[in-house]
Chains A and B, each alone.
Chain A
Amino acid sequence: MAADKQTKLLAKQLFKLSLVNGVVSPEQVTGVLGWVEKYAHRRPVALLKAYHHRIAIELAKSRAEVEHAGPVSDATLRQIEAAMTKRYSRPVTASARPNAKLLAGLRVRVGSDVYESSVAGQLATLSL
Chain B
Amino acid sequence: MLPLLLATVEEANHAAASGPLAGLQQTFEHFGVEPKLILFQLISFLILFGVLYKFGIKPTIATMEERNQKIAAGLKHAEETQARLAAAQQESAAIIKAAQLDAQKAVDEARKAAKDFGDKQQAEAITRAADLLAKAQQAIELEHRKMLNEARGEIARLVVKTTEQVLAKKLSDADRAAFNEAATKELSAL
Residues of B near A69 (CB, < 8 A) are 176, 180
Interface presence of A14 (CB below 8 A): no
Contact, CB under 8 Å: B177 / A70: yes
- Which single member of A71, A73, A87, A106 contacts B183 (CB below 8 Å)? A106
Interface presence of B167 (CB below 8 A): yes
| CA of A73 to CA of B167, assembled, Å | 22
- Which single member of A103, A105, A108, A128 contacts B164 (CB below 8 Å)? A103
How many of chain A's residues touch chain B, expressed as a range? 20 to 34
A-B contact count (CB 8 A): 76
- Which single member of A79, A83, A123 contacts B190 (CB below 8 Å)? A83
Interface presence of A46 (CB below 8 A): no
Contact, CB under 8 Å: B184 / A80: yes
Provided the pairs A83-B187, A108-B187 are in contact, do residues A103 and B168 lie with their beta carbons within 8 angstroms? yes
Residues of A near B186 (CB, < 8 A) are 117
Provided the pairs A70-B173, A123-B163, A127-B160 are in contact, do residues A105 and B188 lie with their beta carbons within 8 angstroms? no
Q: A residues 81-128 with Cβ under 8 Å of B?
A: 82-83, 87, 100, 103-106, 108, 115, 117-120, 123-124, 126-128
- Which single member of A70, A82, A108, A127 contacts B157 (CB below 8 Å)? A127
For the complex, would chain B's binding face be called helix, strand, loop or mixed by DSSP majority?
Answer: helix
Q: A residues 49-85 with Cβ under 8 Å of B?
A: 68-73, 76, 79-80, 82-83
Q: How far is the CB of B12 from chain A (nearest CB, A)?
A: 175
B130-162 CB mask vs A (1 if < 8 Å, else 0) is 000000000000000000000001001101100
Provided the pairs A80-B187, A124-B160 are in contact, do residues A68 and B180 lie with their beta carbons within 8 angstroms? yes
Contact, CB under 8 Å: A126 / B156: yes
B172-183 CB mask vs A (1 if < 8 Å, else 0) is 010111011111
Interface presence of B171 (CB below 8 A): yes
Smallest CB gap from A82: residue in B: B188
Residues of A near B168 (CB, < 8 A) are 100, 103
Provided the pairs A83-B188, A117-B186, A123-B164 are in contact, do residues A106 and B156 lie with their beta carbons within 8 angstroms? no
Residues of A near B190 (CB, < 8 A) are 83, 87, 115
- Which single member of A76, A83, A124 contacts B180 (CB below 8 Å)? A76
| CA of A119 to CA of B163, assembled, Å | 10
Contact, CB under 8 Å: A104 / B188: no
- Which single member of A106, A123, A124 contacts B184 (CB below 8 Å)? A106
Binding site for B on A (CB under 8 A): 68-73, 76, 79-80, 82-83, 87, 100, 103-106, 108, 115, 117-120, 123-124, 126-128
